[in-house]
Amino acid sequence: DLATVIGMLGAIGFIVMAMILGGSLGMFIDVQSILIVFGGTLFVVLSQFTLGQFFSAGKVAGKAFMFKIETPEELIEKIVEMADAARKGGFLALEEAEISNEFMQKGVDMLA
């Protein structure tokens, strides 16, 4: 998502600008605070999830930066195909349809 990338770059840019305008880098770094924030966050999250879920979080976080946005034309084409399948075989025919869009898949699941 472009907003995620812009947000991350903007936040980093403002932090760097504050460091440049405000003086030395040492003023902005406190090792104890970093350990408390990042270490505490890491272990609290670890305590709430299984190890499998915890280690798969990187893959999920990657989706925030890299996912394919389908064009309206692709979505319309897929919807027309599903409408034809539903007209010919009923809504139950949609259960076999391969739908990559999670939102659309949930909608089809509600129909069938």
Token pair listed for 39: 């270490």
Q: How confident is the model at residue 112 (pLDDT cuts 50, 70, 90)?
A: low
Site of tokens 């349809």: 97
pLDDT of residue 42: 92
The domain locations on the chain are 2-66, 72-111
| Tens digits of residue pLDDT in 54-109 | 888 888 888 777 777 888 999 999 999 989 988 998 888 888 888 888 888 898 88
The 8-class DSSP code of residue 65 comes to H
* DSSP code per residue over 42-62: HHHHHHHS-HHHHHTHHHHHH
Q: How far apart, in whole angstroms, are the C-alpha atoms of residue 110 and residue 105?
A: 9
Note the pTM of the prediction, 2 decimals.
Answer: 0.43
On average, the pLDDT of the chain sits at 85
